[in-house]
Structure 1
Amino acid sequence: MRTARAWLSDTAGGLPGAFWYLWTGLLINRVGAFAMLFLPLYLADARQASDALAGLVVGAYGIGGVAGVLLGGVLADGWGRRSTLLWSHLAASVLMAGMAITTSLPAIALLAGLVGIAHSMPGPAFVAAIVDVVPADRRSRAFNLHFWAFNLGMAGASALAGLLAEASYLALFLVDAAATLATAVIIAWKVPETLAPATVRTTPAIRAGLRTPLTDRTFLAFVGLTFVLAVLSTQTSTVMPLAMRADGLSSSAYGLVVALGGALIVAGQLFVPRLIDGRRKHRVLAWATGLTAFGYGSLALADQLPGYLLAALVWTIGSMLAAPPNAEINAELAPPVLRGRYQAVFYLTFPAAAFVAPTIGGVSLQYLGDWHWLAVGAVGLIAVAGHLVTGPRRERRVAQLARTDAPVTSGPGRLTSTCPGPGGAASNA
């Protein structure tokens, strides 16, 4: 029987130390990112805000998130991954401490928008830095661990937030600020700058800003398919609670379904690389999207808790399989000097899905009833076909870019690319 150490070694795949410091920072960041989950309750209970006003403040946080993603991507490419990560975490820590002591609702709304910016800025820089330091043949494992840390951290955040909110909202915000500051300390202490030298940053591609990813048709086709998957996945937090209530199920039943998905990811995500390594990414994504579509489509037949739990099992497996190849493809299609910007455009699919899913899904559920879930499943199957059709062309482009990439040594222990094609990831010795 293999030892736990051997299994962990296979899972880690010889990943570099810089990755593990990034991973640790992300995990602490996610465990600590719980205060905003309770922002609506805080506004209603502690600040006596109306439901409408609370919604506007939470909306300010969401709008800030969209701006933060774009700003974080641009800064990650021009200013640096480390600088963007460090200063966004420091800013978030200060802003969160400010929210802890602020009593004015207009000031809280302003701070919520600024926190949304600061919370979203690190996303593109985190992923771009991982791509910089992890060799291409190990990125599947790196992104798998990245996805696992994100969900493990969120699970810990949900549990910790409930305890702190019952004790004190002041403690809720201050502990959040402290966890964010701890991430900043790890980055300042252990994470090097992974972006290529300044000579690479001044290329015409950098000066083109966001125009390059927004006119890259191959990349945008992939982003569109990811958006569809995000819309499907967002049904869990937007439309499904309404369907469960219509079926006479309690809030605790909904919590159990959500908890099942989180538990599956925490327990099983580390085994995913064994299932997908060596397989063509577009086929993995087709299977993953198909499972997700089947899971949500099957809710048309679910009217009791066991049916919802079985469906959640299926779509969670789909999400687990999709996470590593999604991140890998995004990295492969992004020129090294534009990784932050490509990540920013890619990350926009998630807030967009969070808007589209409830906006259209609520109307669909009201007028179509259970047929809504069949429509969701059908949309997912269209995305399956999209992956099968566009995948081979996308992979040919990645292979061509990899062949034309010519890495050269630009400093001690660092490799960069002389042309803006994927595959020239920086790697610190």
Structure 2
Amino acid sequence: MSVVRLRQAAKESVSGLPRAFWWLWTSTLVNRLGGFVATFLAMYLTVERGYSATFAGLVGALHGLGGVVSAVVAGVLTDRLGRRPTLLVAQVSTAVTVAVLGFVRDPVAIAVMALLVGMATSASRPAVQAMMADIVAPEDRVRAFSLNYWAINLGFAFSAMAAGLIARHGYLTLFLADAGMTLLTALIVFAKLPESRPEGQSPGRGADGKAVGLGTVLRDRRFMAVVALTYLVATLFQQGYVALPVAMGADGLSSADFGLAIATNGVLIVVLQIPVTRFIEHRDPARLLVVAALLTGYGFGLTAFAGSVGMYALAVAVWTLGEIISSPTQMGLVARLSPAHGRGRYQGMYVLAWSLASLTAPLAGGAVIDRFGAATLWAASAVVGTVAAIGYGVLGRRLGADGPEVAGPDAADGNAAGVSAGKAAGVAAA
């Protein structure tokens, strides 16, 4: 491909999105550039503080439990209070709790603060995703979610490398730097992002005046099917950061070897996320999710045959392709199925699936490895991926039978509101 065509492709990938989206994108990037603590928390507890691996696992589980608790609550607040206030409270709370976690030494205090950090961190996700669905036109949402996911992984790649250097000056520096970057994110939101919640209706009510509560979400069978399938796939992705290093250690490989293998994930996402999204942007989401589930399941299944860093990296590359396809497609489908004035609740339930996976997957993965061996876990991963793919295939037929507009009782109104909010937010940010 010529340089001219590359430039044209890059321009088409980023053009046409409102200015408010780019400020939200910038806040995501800044937040992830400072995401030092989550990556090195287990190492901090075991190496720096001398706690056992069991305690580190418990702290990680409590962090996930915090996300489970806050996901739904934050979704409700996103609809009731607004996207911007919820986001600001969550980010300031994250900064404070992360900083405090760096100072506490008592194991009970560490466990409690890890729970609070998990709650504060997850509370921002429904607000971010609802705001993005508000300000971006429906036809551009997959591209917007993809760009945002690209920013997350670009920031993660930088923070993972920088954290090792910063930790040389003491782990407390990591906690304070993370807190500082989170506060900077809150300042960007406060200064540049106006409220995007659709106006003209009561919070949590659709265009027909009917309340959109948690019961509405739970009775939405199509959406809850998406949540259930998301949970299955999310449990697989979690094994890449829990079971994979354990399995590599059992094969006699070092933490540096694990770093090389898992770095394949970040590099591929940074390099391929945008071009792959251009290819899949206007294709059937259900079919894409079938392919993504199979790549994810069989990518982890391939790990059973790995014994060297190269083979482990190959397995990571396969399931990373599934992640690249799955993430923007999944988020675009969630936005499509969510009524405009209930987006916070719907996004909260979607985030809940990931939070539950982060809580249960480490426990399940560790138990399977201890009792049956790593090969059994990787074989089960292939089965789970296959089940998820079948589920997405069935869901795709249901969506097709219902026609192209399946976004709920006030979908059309919500789409129009999203476009209008995007234009208004762009002007206000300018």
Q: 2:172 aligns with which of 163, 170, 173?
A: 170
Query: How far did 1:370 drift?
Result: 2.5
Contact 2:87 2:128 in 1 (8 A): yes
Q: TM-score normalized by structure 1?
A: 0.89
Higher RCO (C-alpha 8 Å, min separation 6): 2
Matching residue of 1:315: 319
Query: How far did 1:96 drift?
Result: 2.8
| Aligned mates of 1:100, 1:396 — CA distance in 2 | 53
Q: 2:140 aligns with which of 138, 141, 146?
A: 138
CA distance 1:58–1:281, change in 2 (3 Å): closer
Contact 1:78 1:206 in 2 (8 A): no
Query: How far did 1:196 drift?
Result: 1.7
| Aligned mates of 1:67, 1:288 — CA distance in 2 | 28
Query: How far did 1:78 drift?
Result: 0.6
Q: 1:383 aligns with which of 384, 388, 401?
A: 388
| RMSD, matched Cα | 2.7
Contact 2:243 2:362 in 1 (8 A): yes
Deviations 1:17-37 (A, max 9, x none): 011100100111111121243
CA distance 1:361–1:82, change in 2 (3 Å): same
CA distance 1:358–1:170, change in 2 (3 Å): closer
Query: How far did 1:188 drift?
Result: 0.6
**SS at structure 2 position matched to 1:200:** coil
**SS at structure 1 position matched to 2:195:** coil
Amino acid at match of 1:114: L
CA distance 1:56–1:187, change in 2 (3 Å): same
My pick for the range that moved more, 52-61 or 179-188, is: 52-61
| Aligned mates of 2:169, 2:41 — CA distance in 1 | 15
| Aligned mates of 1:198, 1:211 — CA distance in 2 | 23
Matching residue of 2:423: 428
| Aligned mates of 1:389, 1:133 — CA distance in 2 | 31
Q: 1:374 aligns with which of 369, 379, 383?
A: 379
Matching residue of 2:68: 66
> Within 5 A, what are the aligned runs for 1:112-127?
112-127=114-129
| Aligned mates of 1:367, 1:106 — CA distance in 2 | 32
| Aligned mates of 1:247, 1:50 — CA distance in 2 | 21
| Percent pairwise identity | 40
CA distance 1:98–1:300, change in 2 (3 Å): closer
| Aligned mates of 1:221, 1:164 — CA distance in 2 | 43
Query: How far did 1:144 drift?
Result: 0.6
2:28 corresponds to 1:23: no
My pick for the range that moved more, 53-62 or 224-233, is: 53-62
| Aligned mates of 1:190, 1:60 — CA distance in 2 | 34
CA distance 1:55–1:206, change in 2 (3 Å): farther
Query: How far did 1:387 drift?
Result: 1.3
Matching residue of 2:80: 78
Query: How far did 1:281 drift?
Result: 0.8
> Within 5 A, what are the aligned runs for 1:29-428?
29-44=31-46, 49=51, 53-197=55-199, 199-201=201-203, 203=205, 209-365=213-369, 366-367=371-372, 370-397=375-402, 399-401=404-406, 405=410, 415-416=416-417, 426-428=421-423
- Unpaired runs of 5+ in structure 2? 425-430
| Aligned mates of 1:372, 1:98 — CA distance in 2 | 37
Contact 2:135 2:419 in 1 (8 A): no
Contact 1:336 1:425 in 2 (8 A): no
My pick for the range that moved more, 338-347 or 307-316, is: 307-316
Aligned length: 419
Contact 2:42 2:56 in 1 (8 A): yes
- Unpaired runs of 5+ in structure 1? 417-422
My pick for the range that moved more, 11-20 or 289-298, is: 289-298
Matching residue of 1:419: none
